Structure 1
Amino acid sequence: MPAPYGHVTHEIRRLLNQAVTDGVAPAASCAVVLDGEALPTVTAGTAAPGTCFDLASVTKLFTTVTMLSLVGDGELELDAPVGTCLPAYAHGDKSTVTLRQLLTHTSGLPSEWRGWERALADGRAFDRRRLVDDLLGTPLEAAPGTRFTYSCAGFNTAMALAEHVTDRPWAALVRDRVLSKLGTDGIAGTPDPERCAPTEDQAALGRGLVRGIVHDEAAWSLGGLSGNAGMFATAPGLAVFGESLRTGLPGILSPALAADMWRSQLPDMLGSHFNPADPGFGHGLGLRINQQPWMGAAGRDARGHGGFTGTSLLADRDNGVTIALLTNRVSPSRDGDDATALRKAVSDVVYSGKNDSN
């Protein structure tokens, strides 16, 4: 391994160990690939290279690829109203919502869907069919295509759309259309709990210390792997997906769809409502762009996603960089450090080491 890359590994190990010491997270793992060369996986705290972490919203990237695979097969259309397939969206102000809007957070849906909370308040057991109906009844907060508001509800709506069109369970669609084609066993929707880093102690919800079951409450109520959250991965496993994403998702999506996923969408989606300073970064199909608070200043052309549990995946085509950084920063409580500084520090180290080697 070239010396600069060895320095990258050393510095990442220092950062992860310091984060554990400082109480950012009890476990951390990082896998980096530079120009196709996988660096040694670095772990700290209670993590090992084979430890699975709850990816939280990094799951949205798998959702996006699954949806685009359905588009590629002609089962869905990006720019047709989803109401042509989904009866709950066939009328009223929802009748113009498109899949592209759902995948770019421009549908007008609110950030969250709280049907799970209402079910618990009513003392009802979770009934997935009833919960999905409740989800699909979520009213819009704005006209489609007039604002960007990050929406977990939108990604769960995309999941419901896929299930309705294919008449197949969401987990099976993700497995068959994405996971089975990646050549790694380091990503799963239903992991072995013994291999998983724990997340939050949710005694107030009757869950206790959550481990090997999705932390996100909406996804939990919907049975696990969902459109917004629920995927688990090891750092090396997530890096395999990141490299596939960086190199155009060969064997999964057509070059045209992979390019569309990568392309900045908000100027076209919002038109006269687009303000480059708000939200202050770009967005592709499912992909966050130029999120410098955690991607770093050198990651201006990077794509990826972060997760509430303290996870992130960064992929940069121009610079040949993939970074999978996983922590369980919500364990045992979500009230601590959100790991943004750690994610940025790791990104800065990787980009600096990459530049030093050129």
Structure 2
Amino acid sequence: MAGTGPTMTLQGRLEDLLNEAVSAGITPSASCAVSRDGADGAAVVVGDAVRFDSDGRELEPAARTPAQADTRYDLASVTKVVTAVTALTLVRDDMLALDCPVAEWLPAYRDDDKRTVTLRHLLSHTAGLPPIWDGWKRPGSGGRARLVASVLATPLVTAPGKSFAYSCVGYNTVMALAEAVTGSSWSELVTERVLGADPDLGFASDGQACAATEYQPELGRGMVCGVVHDESAWSLGGAAGNAGLFGTAAALLAFGERTRAGLPGLLPPDLEAELWTDQLPRLLPTGESGVGYGQALGLRIGQRPWMGRAGAQARGHNGFTGTSLLMDRERGVSVALLTNRVHPSRSYSDVTELRAAVSNAVYDAD
């Protein structure tokens, strides 16, 4: 233990929390990096990045791969934050507009149901699209182009702007929209416009440097490692709008701090404000999401079950694989927490309590 009582450092408290989660079987490994008032602490890393072999069997302790500070984790839906920023750079350059119907660029959206869907709707989960697209389950000829067309053909569940419903389909529609407008691949757009050539945060992955995720023999993937876990993103080539990014805790924290600071040099103040501002009061008839938290363009707001009891003004996102990014301008903190809780199975655990405990520890630190 790193110490107990009021004299325990934040690093020590985080180490204890992560070790307790690993010991309790919540996740095989965890990596956490925190910035407070602009000062970054070293990443706290515990557990095994790879604990189960290619056949899903638990490895002997000596054969496991320990997690390290440079271990890259599948960020899952934390990717959506970067997707939103990338789309806003196209708005910045007058290639897209937040409130213009996307039907101007996407013929698939020119029918009566979809013709009023805007980029703002897509980025705020108010377009009326369903949560998931299962077209990846139906292989066929035509490759990625056919799959993207299938995504765009997904019917609406409700009329645009009538309700909030979290949708991975919406974010892959943003990806398709950006590719249609620019003629460039999604991975190129995200890399060139937002991330740069940072080897610790991007779509390209090296299995040897990554934490493993799920064992999926039924899909012919075996033990997934260095390949995106999300099946829809996987079918779309790995780089998608809803998922696909890999990163270390330190690299994700650096992106979080850049975002918390207003993305200087990347977005003008008016667009950066849109990224940070709750969109639901403007878009929904009642101004309420019905889920107890706000939604900006890509960022969830005040989702306290994982952002912590003091996180009412926090922004961020979490991911299915056990990842999260929290940013709070009022309190001057950012927190990147990465786990591979789906290794070897998605039914392995829930890391909501761990996320909340980490957030509370950061907020409570002197």
1:95 partner amino acid: R
Q: How does 1:252-331 map to 2 (within 5 A)?
A: 252-272=266-286, 274-275=287-288, 278-331=290-343
How much does 1:5 deviate? 9.8
1:93 matched to 2:95? The reply is no
Structure 1 equivalent of residue 36 of structure 2: 34
Structure 2 equivalent of residue 189 of structure 1: 203
1:222 partner amino acid: L
2:185 partner amino acid: P
Distance 1:304 1:103, change over 3 A: same
More helix by share: 1
- CA offsets per residue over residues 254-312 of structure 1, 9 Å max, x none? 1111111100110111123x335x11100000100001000011011000000000000
Residue range with higher mean Cα deviation, 32-41 or 248-257 = 248-257
TM-score normalised by L of structure 2: 0.92
1:323–1:347 contact (8 Å) kept in structure 2? yes
CA distance in 1, matches of 2:26, 2:7: 25
2:280–2:288 contact (8 Å) kept in structure 1? no
How much does 1:251 deviate? 1.6
- CA offsets per residue over residues 317-353 of structure 1, 9 Å max, x none? 1110000000000000010222000000000000000
CA distance in 2, matches of 1:173, 1:329: 30
How much does 1:184 deviate? 4.3
Aligned residue-pair number: 344
SS in 1 for 2:348: coil
2:78–2:318 contact (8 Å) kept in structure 1? yes
Q: How does 1:100-249 map to 2 (within 5 A)?
A: 100-119=120-139, 124=140, 127-180=143-196, 184-249=198-263
TM-score normalised by L of structure 1: 0.94
1:185–1:237 contact (8 Å) kept in structure 2? no
SS in 1 for 2:115: helix
- CA offsets per residue over residues 154-194 of structure 1, 9 Å max, x none? 000000000000000000000001001xx843201012111
Structure 2 equivalent of residue 58 of structure 1: 78
Structure 2 equivalent of residue 352 of structure 1: 364
Q: Any gaps of 5 or more consecutive residues in structure 2?
A: 1-5, 49-66
Structure 2 equivalent of residue 341 of structure 1: 353
2:35–2:253 contact (8 Å) kept in structure 1? yes
2:278–2:301 contact (8 Å) kept in structure 1? yes
2:31 partner amino acid: S
How much does 1:102 deviate? 0.1
CA distance in 2, matches of 1:82, 1:5: 55
How much does 1:91 deviate? 2.3
When the two chains are superposed, the root-mean-square deviation of aligned CA atoms in Å is 1.5
SS in 2 for 1:322: strand
1:294 partner amino acid: W
Distance 1:5 1:70, change over 3 A: farther
Q: Which runs of 4+ in 1 moved over 6 A?
A: none
SS in 2 for 1:44: strand
Give percent identity, aligned residues only. 55
Q: Any gaps of 5 or more consecutive residues in structure 1?
A: none
How much does 1:126 deviate? 7.5
SS in 1 for 2:284: helix
SS in 2 for 1:76: coil
